[in-house]
Every structure is written in C-alpha cells, then in structure tokens.
Structure 1
Amino acid sequence: MIRAFLAFAVAATLTPSAAARPDAVQPFCEAGAYRSAEGNFVALARSPTHPDRGLRYLFRDGRRGWASDADAPFDCTPDGVRIGKGDGTQAWARVAFRETSATFDSAGSKLNGVLIEPPGADPRRPLVVMVHGSERSSPIGGIYGYAMAAQGLSVFVYDKRGTGASEGEYTQNFELLANDAAAALEQARAMLPGHSGRAGFFGGSQGGWVAPLAATLTPADFVAVGFGLVASPIEEDREQMVSEVRAAGLGADAEKLVNNLSAATAKLLLSNFKEGYEELDTARAALAKKPWAERIQGEHSGAILRMPNEELRRIGRPRFDNLELIWDYDAVAALRKLRTPLLWVLAGEDREAPIETTRAALADLQAAGQPIDVYLFPGTDHGMIEFTTGPDGERRYTRIADGYLTLLGDWIKGGANGSYARAQKLNPR
C-alpha cells in the first residue's frame, strides 16, 4: 500500500484487450453512469494509466473491462447504453449528475475537488468524501466516484496534495492527509446548504489509515474502509513477507527468518538509516543459502536486503523514507479514539495488505464495544478483486467481487442488511 496503487484498485489490473473493437472506442460513449429502472448500473470512465484506450466500465456486480472490448456486454447509443446482445436487450439511461468544481484550503495549500450530485434535490441524501490510496493519479472523473453516485449518494472527490490540480508536495504522511480529508468534508458540506443527511468518509487501501484519522478531526457520521490495514507500515512489510513464504509452502523456520529481516529493516527506518546494520548483516547471513530468499519482496525489506550497507548509508533514506511516512503508526490507537460507526471490508486473500493482524485487531475493538461492522469477501485480493490461480501460482485478476459496491452503498446510507453475494459478516469474538 506504500507502493503506488491506483485509486481503489480498479485500474491497476485492467490491461488493454487483444480483442478490441477496430475503432478502439464505442461511438456515443460518455463518462458517467447509466442506470436501469431497477437500480442496476454501469459506470464508465477514462483510465489514468491508459488515457488513450477509451473508457473502462464497471458494473454494480463487479464486472469490468473496456468499452472497446469486442465482448463488452453493452453497446453505447445516443440515448444511453443497450445492455446485452440480440433479443432481450435493455436500455439504460445516462444518469444526469450535477458536477461542481471547487477549491479549498488545507495546511497552506489549495486543493482541487469536484462534488458529484445525483438528480433531484434531497437534503437527506448521504454525502461521502472519497479518501485516496497511495496513488498519484487524479480521482476526478474516476470510475468509483460515478459508481458511488449511481447508488444515490452525493460524492466529493479531490486531488491529493501534489497531484492533479492540487497544490503542495505529494506525501504519505497520514496526519497531513487526514487534515486534507477533513477539510474536504467541510468543503463538501459548505456546497450543500441545508444538508441534513449522513456525511462521512470512504477510504480504500492506504485510505484506511487516513479516513478514520480524518473523522477524529471533524464531525463525521460514518467511516467506511475497503482493503485497509489496522497495522503500521512496518507491520505491513513483515506480514507481506510472511504471506510470501506461506504462499511458497515454506515453514515456520522461513517465517522466523523474514521476521528477523523485518526487525532489522525497521531499526534502519526508525533511526533514519543510522542503526540496524549489524542486525541486517545477521539476517543476510541467515538468508544467504536460502534460494527462496531471492524472491522475497515485502513493501521494502526485500530491496533493502539486496542493497550493500555502504549504499544504504549513502542513499537509503532518500530512497525509502522520502514521503514522510509514519513507519510505526499506531492504527489501533487511532481507532480507539473513533466513536463514529465504522465499516471495514477485508479482502480474504490480500497479498498487498494481509489481513491476519487487521482482522484480530478489529475483533478486539468490536469486543470492547466499538461500533464496527466487519465484512470479508473470500477469494479476493487487494481491491476486492477476484482471481484465478495458474499452475505457476500466478494470479489472473478478473473482476471486483459481486456485492462489494452494493454493500458500500447500502451501509453508507445506513441500511446494510441481508446478504451481499459471498460476503461474510464477521461477528465480535
């Protein structure tokens, strides 16, 4: 989650299809959302990583792809989209969102945002501020903003400082980013005079550190988090390496070795690369004869392991510690301060943000009386993305889990009930 990860994990694994339509873009397609009378929808948006590819799509049930794919399950028309092929097609109309640009101040920088409002005036309509992951791309005009607004929510999206049209320096300092998110909610509220509905935050990935903290800085009625961590960045690195050795079928001895490596790299990071070299040399020696050690990555420990000490002393800090990350951030302490209802959605087989420590911490907080709802989608990786696994162990990512978008929309509205496809609601211990 420290490595750059596209907003809410949708674009990261959408690569151009070899079976694209000849013109690469469907005629009449426009960014936004198209909805049926029953409330189903498809959101269309340009990808920040493939801006020349045309529009990508995301259905409410998690199906995704490119509008230009030969097998895209819809056609664009002058009046909307036609879902299905041949007999039995359905016409879905484009949702007439109102999009209002805004700038607002936070910690000496002007930030850029957009408020997306569904049709009609309803002062009780819930308002959600979308909090970033670690990406540097703009979420404005992004597919998740439209997908949330298509469910009847007012949505405020904004460029993280130092990205898009926002001023300031790009950072991953959770305290500063939480201040920005709180300012974003205040700006969105100011744009909705007379608003009396629920208002709060949704954060994906790294936003799971930022959104709860923002809710301690300004009044909020809810916080929703997808595939985030209740752990520090150092713990994230360690858990990723443990996940890697477990996926490779290695045993407890291998886990002990990567735990020792994590402790050594943590000492380096927390001392600004002044201390920890002796421990790192010990970890290197123990791993030197292990062929599998060459494949260990984590968030940062694998790269540190393979760099000479003299190089780490010279450039270790600017390479690994140049974004003001709070390496030993106490995520549990932040959540203990939170009295706002919290939704936390876990990806069952998350390699980017392994869930073992997070799941246990959330269960402890639930048992202590914190107002937390926890859901788990089995068979999903970071971003709530389903996958198949090949003979070589590599994952091929397919779609967003069915039920995930609906769960977010319903819970933010205050009415998450019933089942959400394969989602499992986790009860307190």
Structure 2
Amino acid sequence: MKYLIGTLLLLATLPAAPAFAQTACTPGTYAAPDGDFVVLVKSPAVAAPGLRYLFRDGRRGATTDTGVPLTCGTDDVAVGGKRWAPIAFRETQATFDSVGTKMTGVLIEPPGAPDAKRPLVVMVHGSERTSPIGGVYGYAMAAQGISVFVYDKRGTGGSDGEYTQNFELLGEDAANALGQARGMAAGRYGRAGFFGGSQGGWVAPLAATRTKADFVAIGFGLVASPIEEDREQMVSEVRGAGLGQDAEALVGRLSDATGKLLLSGFAEGYAELDAVRAEMAGQPWAAKIAGEHSGAIAHMSNDALRRVGRARFDNLELIWNYDALAALKKLEAPLLWVLAGEDREAPIETTRGALLGLAKTGKPVDVYLFPQTDHGMWEFTTDTSGERQVTRITDGYLKLLADWIKRDVRGTYGRAERLTPR
C-alpha cells in the first residue's frame, strides 16, 4: 500500500471515458426496491456536470462514460429501465477535539425511525490526503442500513494539524472519532466499531485497544510492519519476474540494509547497503526492483542519503517497525479481515498466516479472500507489458462488509473464499 496513496484517492483519480449526452445527474444515493443501490458523488477527475458512480456490486465509473449503466432523471435514476429513488440520509456535521487538534466529520444515518439496534461504524482512512467526506464509501455503507461517521484525518480537508502517518496518533484520532459518533447518535445505534482500509488496517485495530469497540472490520490491510511490507513487495516482484531463491535472498538483504537506515535516522546501514549494491550490480533485473522504498534508496548515493534521506523517506513519523500483531493480540472485539488475493501493494502471505494463527488461538477472527483482486479489492486486466488496469471493485466485497457488521452474513459474496471456520 503506497504510503501516500489510498483507495479513496484511487476512486477519485481514475480517468473518465468519452462523454455522451444525458440529463445532468444529481449527487446522491439511489436505491432499488430490492435494496440494490448506486452512489453518485462529485469527483475532481470527472468534468462537470459528470459524477463518479459506484454500485453495490462494485461496478464503477463516471456518468459521462460511454455505456454507463444508468440514466439520470431530475430526481431519480433509471437502471435497466426501472426507477431507483433517492435515499434521504440524515447528515449531521461535526467538529471534535483530538489530542488538542480540531477535527471535522459528518454522521450519516439511514432514513426512517430511530433504531437502537442499528450498527454504527467509524470509517478509518487509508494514507490518502484527500477528504473522505462526501466520498462513495460512507454512503455505500449507509445505504446498507448502517450509521456511518466519516472524518477528515488531521492535516487534510477541514481538519487542523499536520498530515502524519504516525499510527499511534492516528489511532487516538480514530478512538476520539468513535466517541464523537457515539455521542451524536445516542439512542439510535447498537453495536459500534471501526472499518479501516489499507493503512487503516494498522490504525483501526490500534484505536479499538484505546476505546470500547464492538467490532473491527479491515479491507486489504497488513499484519506486518512497513519495513516488512517493503520486503514482501520486493519478494513479490522477483517472484513475478520468475526469478529464484537467490534473488529473493538478495532483496531480503536489501530490505535489511534500508531498514537499518530508516530506523537509525539514516545514521547507520551504509556498509550493508554498499554490500548489497555490489551484489545487485551484475543483475540485469535489479534496476526494476522497487518495493515500497528500498529501490529508491538503493539508487541514491550515500552522500545524498546522508543529506536528504531522512527528509525524503522519513518525514511522516511512520513507525517503521510497528508491531501490528501485538495490537491484534490485545484486541478483544470481533475482527473481520478481507484479503485481496493478488495484492501487489500489500502482499498477503505474512498477513494471512498471522490472522489464521490468531484464529487458531481462539480469537474471534473471520478471514475472507477475494481471488484475482489487487489492492483496494480491485479486479483488473493485465496488458502485454504486464501492467494491470483496474476495472471494478470485486462483486460481493461491499455487501460482505455491511452484512458482517450487521451480524447477518449468509450465502455467498461474489468469489469470496472464507479462510476461517464458522
């Protein structure tokens, strides 16, 4: 998971296809009589008056795309020739304090009479710098009968403070967001907890150890440190290139060297890095190895790394050796973890093993895997150069999240495979 790229940002930046003429769409969430829905939101990547859309089954695009599967009316949309009516959510703006910083959020509640059994979920962001308020995920969850609190992470959107990737501080923010949401929805919710995607997989479980949470749901996160993530990405790269165990061992040593640099504030690790560089010099594939940070570090001179390495790679207070498994061992709330089977940003091998190990000890852990999906639960095609082009969020993912939070998991969810016993 690129530290500066999150799934919500990806949704906002996918290019729009050529436009065709139709009635301008109105932002909102529209539901079919059978509970299906589509979310329409403004996006900087879609020229006005176009909107980004997301269906419950994961189809996504822009209303200006050729062949878009909906037609906009003045106060509704038509899908397959049938009218889908707007959902009248109750949305309440909020500000709250977290570690001396003013944070901004919004509570989205489904329409209808107050329901003291309705789940309440706080959406814990990934690493994106864009505001999740007004984005598709919050409304997609609320359209499935869940109250949702969405907030801007510190230093982004309407929240004060400096942008950071310090999990400890972000965990405090998420815990305080849940307290704010509980106060706003008092008498109108039952279970309350967190959903975190990508980097939120580090933050949400930690937040649940800081405050009372009834559940934690994670999509495409990691049970590994950022240094381990870097190593696993490089191992995935050499395996994808069809290289052998010698190459895997070499990139492992590269990760050890760059990890030492990062953990020492770029004071130590140069001898180890030079040794690895010497080994890699004769390898034609070495120039293509990237990882999360190691490839870029290896291609900079030692003089440059001493001068600007810390400013370039270590300026966001990331906890490089963060012990994600320790936080999960402390967690008492039920945990859902959804893995992307072909995740290049957050390779799943270590994470899957850690989660299944927790389940064997009796922890309330449910693990699902969607095959042939990349980071963000994206289905994809692969071009002749090996590059992946994302197509849609995999069918069943959004519904699985909501049903699990509502304690109503039943039937199948697209191609999802349950890895833990019931």
TM-score of the aligned structures, taking structure 1 as reference length? 0.96
Post-superposition CA distance 1:14-60 (Å, at most 9, x none): 2121x2225xxx53422221001100001111225557573111111
SS at match of 2:203: helix
Tell me which moved more, 46-55 or 56-65.
46-55
1:53/1:175 Cα in 2 relative to 1: closer, same or farther (>3 Å)? Answer: farther
Give me the whole-angstrom Cα distance separating, in 2, the residues matched to 1:158 and 1:29.
Answer: 26
Task: Within 5 Å, give how 1:12-411 maps onto structure 2.
Answer: 14-17=14-17, 19-21=18-20, 26-50=22-46, 52=48, 54-84=50-80, 89-120=81-112, 121-411=114-404
Tell whether the 8 Å contact from 2:196 to 2:218 is kept in structure 1 after alignment.
Answer: yes
State the one-letter code of the partner of 2:105.
G
Q: Deviations over 1:196-223 (max 9, x none)?
A: 4111000000000000000111111100
What amino acid sits opposite 2:284 in the alignment?
Answer: P
3-state SS of paired residue (2:227):
helix
Secondary structure at the aligned position of 2:260 is classed as: helix
SS at match of 2:357: helix
Q: Distance in 1 between matches of 2:250 and 2:47?
A: 43
Counterpart pick for 1:413 among 406, 417, 421: 406
CA deviations on 1:298-327 (whole Å, 9 max, x unpaired) are: 110000000000000011011100000000
| Partners of 2:230 and 2:421 in 1: CA distance | 27
Cα distance in 1 for residues equivalent to 2:282 and 2:48 = 47
Decide which moves more: 155-164 or 388-397. Answer: 388-397
Percent pairwise identity: 68
- Conserved 8 A contact 1:125-1:198: yes
CA contact (8 A) 1:5 1:12 kept: no
Contact 2:26 2:75 in 1 (8 A): no
Change in CA separation of 1:294 and 1:12 when aligned onto 2, cut-off 3 Å: farther
* Aligned residue number for residue 11 of structure 2: 11
Q: Contact (CA 8 Å) 1:231, 1:331: kept in 2 or not?
A: yes
Letter in 2 for 1:352: E
**Deviation readout 1:213-250 (Å, 9 max, x if unpaired):** 00111111100000000000000000001111111111
Are the aligned partners of 2:110 and 2:143 in contact in 1 as well (CA < 8 Å)? Answer: yes
1:53–1:254 Cα change, 3 Å:
farther
Q: Which moved more, 1:309-318 or 1:188-197?
A: 188-197
Kindly indicate whether the alpha-carbon contact (under 8 Å) linking 1:11 and 1:49 is maintained by their aligned counterparts in 2: no
Q: Deviation per CA, 1:362-402: give whole Å up to 9, x if none.
A: 01101011100000000000000001112221112111000
Distance in 2, matches of 1:302 and 1:231, equals 19
Q: Match of 2:354, as an amino acid?
A: A
Q: Distance in 1 between matches of 2:167 and 2:224?
A: 13
Aligned residues: 421
- What SS class does the counterpart of residue 285 from structure 2 fall into? helix
- The alpha-carbon distance between structure 1 residues 299 and 160, as it changes in their structure 2 partners (threshold 3 A), is same
**Cα pair 2:115 2:189 within 8 Å, conserved:** no
Please, what TM-score do these two structures have when normalized by structure 2? 0.97
Distance in 2 of aligned mates of 1:73 and 1:188: 35
| Whole-Å separation in 2 of the counterparts to 1:296 and 1:14 | 25
| Distance in 2, Cα, partners of 1:268 & 1:171 | 20
Answer yes or no: is the 8 Å Cα contact 1:340–1:371 preserved in 2: yes
Unaligned runs of 5+ in 1: none
> Any stretches of 5+ residues in structure 2 without a counterpart?
none
Q: For each residue in 1:157-203, what CA deviation from the matched residue of structure 2 results, as whole angstroms up to 9, or x when unmatched?
A: 00000000100110000010010001001001110121341110000
The amino acid that maps onto 2:25 is C
Displacement over 6 Å in runs of 4+: none
